[in-house]
Amino acid sequence: MKLLDLIPENELKEAVISDYEKKLVLYKLTDERLKKKYEMTFKDFSERNIVKEKSYSWDVESDAMEWEHAVEGIRHLMEVLTKIKETND
């Protein structure tokens, strides 16, 4: 018998949803922090090529990677959470 067989499916779903919602909050905080820092959205940051504009400084490159990861994380988790919650109905 596997451990997963001992845990009811609804408890597993709740645990996954809770974990994803925590990650979503962290991604949104990162997005908001960087929006304030650069006074623009990630889309605008990318379109204006701020990394190049700031001479490829490590600080800006690092922010760009972190921001892109957060924005993609938000998109992905919103999709997954929507699908999980739809299966609960």
Domain assignment of residue 6, yes or no: no
Q: Answer yes or no: is 11 within a domain.
A: no
Which tens digits make up the pLDDT trace of 24-64?
999 999 999 999 999 999 999 999 999 999 999 999 999 99
Residue 81 has pLDDT above 70, yes or no: yes
* pLDDT of amino acid 5: 77
Residue 61 lies in a domain: yes
The answer to whether position 24 is within a domain reads yes
pTM attached to this predicted model: 0.85
Answer yes or no: is 70 within a domain. Answer: yes
Q: List C-alpha distances in Å: 40 to 10, 43, 46, 53, 67.
A: 40, 8, 10, 14, 12
Q: What's the domain count of the chain?
A: 1
Q: By residue range, what is the domain housing residue 56?
A: 16-88
Q: Is 1 within a domain?
A: no
Decide if 7 is inside a domain: no
